[in-house]
């Protein structure tokens, strides 16, 4: 049987357990030109909350009753004349929260479990990694000597952003929740400084760590922290708007950045990004990051939980912060 998690109720505010319904259906048969994938891991991302809203966004809202959308990685176990993928291939794509999926392969790409563990392909070598890579290099336009601030710094995207900025010769300060994450980004990932937003005064600490201000702010959180970052911009600073996790569960209008006129004062730029725009260059990003990983310059950390039935609790960790690195759920049953 194929355990599938259906999206059954649009949440208002936080997504409760009644947002989804776990069902069992027969394992589907691939049609002509299709493959059947046995999924090993699915990716949990803050963006999921946005997909649940019935609002115009960068991607279609999820339909009620559909399988919960999620990035995934798994093994091809059947091919019905698929032109590209064969049985035994490992592939990554948007397979959703289910154990088996059939597809014509559109949007799927091959991965090699001998080069990196499978969860890494939905983390550092998948969407979060690509977001970090193209976001900080192409939107943030970092250059050697820049002072770079990143929020959600221990997360799937932020941890890679900061490490890439270090590789490129920047001074990097990360904002994360709690002393463990702060120690991790400083001691294990080599950030120059960390700010524990749960226990420290972010404004004061930022002033202390970046006395001359910041050149680039990579924003994953929005809210109060975006406003504080705006108050510390250097001339011609760039703000990359990648996400706003602090606002995703709002029931009211989200908090706009009161300090946005700092953009005027500092001739600064705030630019939004969606990783899909770089799809044609994912290969380049994966190759470069794979090389950095092989050289020991880039560390990838996945926090893997188990059992498709544990999706709702695991999803909650995205917002409670009770995770370290890329949040992944193992859905294959041994």
Q: Which is nearer to a copy of itself, 29 or 277 (CB)?
A: 277
Q: Is residue 241 close enough to count as binding a copy of itself by CB under 8 A?
A: yes
Number of residues that bind a copy of itself (CB under 8 A): 33
Angle at 127 between CA 202 and CA 95, to 5 degrees: 130
CA distance 235 to 228: 16
CA distance 149 to 216: 6
Q: Which is nearer to a copy of itself, 74 or 152 (CB)?
A: 152
Footprint of a copy of itself on residues 193-212 (CB under 8 A)? none
Q: Which is nearer to a copy of itself, 73 or 241 (CB)?
A: 241
Q: How far is the CB of 142 from a copy of itself (least distance, A)?
A: 17
Q: Which is nearer to a copy of itself, 115 or 274 (CB)?
A: 274
Q: Is residue 244 close enough to count as binding a copy of itself by CB under 8 A?
A: yes
CA distance 152 to 327: 13
**DSSP letter at 296?**
T
Q: Which is nearer to a copy of itself, 93 or 243 (CB)?
A: 243
Q: How far is the CB of 254 from a copy of itself (least distance, A)?
A: 6
Please name the residues in contact with 110: beta carbons below 8 A apart, sequence gap of 6 or more: 85, 89, 90, 91
Q: Give phi and psi for 111, each to the nearest 5.
A: -130, 160
For the chain, the residue count is 334
Q: Is 137 exposed, middle or buried (0-12, 13-18, 19+ CB in 10 A)?
A: middle
From 263, 304, 312, 319, residue interacting with a copy of itself (rule: CB under 8 A): 263
Q: Which stretch binds a copy of itself (CB under 8 A): 89-97, 150-158, 247-255, 292-300?
A: 247-255
Q: Which stretch binds a copy of itself (CB under 8 A): 63-71, 254-262, 285-293, 297-305?
A: 254-262
CA distance 203 to 118: 39
Q: How far is the CB of 243 from a copy of itself (least distance, A)?
A: 7
Asked whether 71 and 122 are in contact (CB, 8 A), the reply is: yes
DSSP states along 303-315: EEEE-GGGHHHHH
Contact mark string toward a copy of itself, 38..67, x via CB under 8 A? ------------------xxx---------
Q: Which is nearer to a copy of itself, 239 or 328 (CB)?
A: 239
Q: How far is the CB of 255 from a copy of itself (least distance, A)?
A: 7
Q: Is residue 258 close enough to count as binding a copy of itself by CB under 8 A?
A: yes
CA distance 105 to 109: 8
Q: Are strands 100-103 and 90-93 parallel, antiparallel or unpaired?
A: unpaired
Contact mark string toward a copy of itself, 264..303, x via CB under 8 A? xxxxxxxxxxx--x--------------------------
Q: Which stretch binds a copy of itself (CB under 8 A): 27-35, 88-96, 174-182, 243-251?
A: 243-251
3-state secondary structure of 54: coil
Q: Are strands 147-151 and 109-111 parallel, antiparallel or unpaired?
A: unpaired
What does the CA dihedral 147, 153, 154, 155 come to, rounded to 10 degrees?
-130
Q: How far is the CB of 256 from a copy of itself (least distance, A)?
A: 3
Contacts with a copy of itself, residue ranges (CB under 8 A): 56-58, 222, 227, 241-244, 247, 253-274, 277
């Amino acid at each position: 049987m194929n355990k599938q998690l259906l999206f059954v109720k649009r949440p208002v505010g936080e997504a409760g357990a009644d947002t989804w319904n776990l069902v069992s259906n027969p394992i589907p048969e691939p049609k002509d030109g299709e493959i059947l994938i046995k999924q090993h891991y699915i990716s949990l991302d803050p963006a999921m909350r946005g997909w649940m809203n019935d609002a115009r966004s960068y991607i279609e809202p999820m339909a009620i009753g559909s399988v919960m959308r999620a990035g995934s990685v798994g093994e091809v176990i059947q091919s019905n004349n698929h032109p590209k993928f064969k049985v035994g291939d490992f592939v990554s794509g948007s397979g959703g929260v289910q154990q088996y999926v059939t597809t014509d392969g559109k949007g799927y790409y091959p991965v090699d479990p001998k080069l990196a563990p499978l969860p890494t392909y939905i983390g550092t070598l998948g969407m979060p990694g690509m977001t970090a890579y193209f976001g900080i290099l192409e939107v943030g336009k970092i250059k050697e000597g820049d002072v770079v601030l990143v929020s959600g710094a221990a997360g799937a995207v932020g941890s890679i952003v900061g490490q890439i900025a270090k590789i490129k010769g920047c001074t990097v300060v990360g904002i994360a929740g709690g002393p463990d994450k702060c120690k991790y980004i400083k001691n294990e990932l080599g950030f120059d400084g960390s700010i524990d937003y749960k226990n420290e005064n972010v404004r004061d600490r930022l002033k202390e760590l970046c006395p001359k201000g910041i050149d680039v702010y990579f924003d994953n959180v929005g809210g109060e922290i975006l406003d504080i970052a705006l108050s510390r911009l250097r001339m011609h600073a760039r703000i990359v708007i990648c996400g706003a996790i602090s606002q995703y569960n709002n029931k009211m209008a989200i908090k706009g950045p009161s300090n946005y006129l700092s953009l005027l004062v500092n001739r600064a730029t705030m630019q939004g990004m969606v990783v899909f725009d770089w799809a044609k260059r994912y290969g380049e990003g994966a190759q470069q990051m794979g090389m950095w990983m092989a050289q020991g310059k880039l560390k990838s950390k996945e926090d893997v939980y188990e059992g498709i039935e544990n999706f709702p609790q695991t999803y909650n960790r995205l917002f409670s912060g009770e995770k370290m690195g890329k949040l992944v759920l193992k859905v294959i049953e041994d």
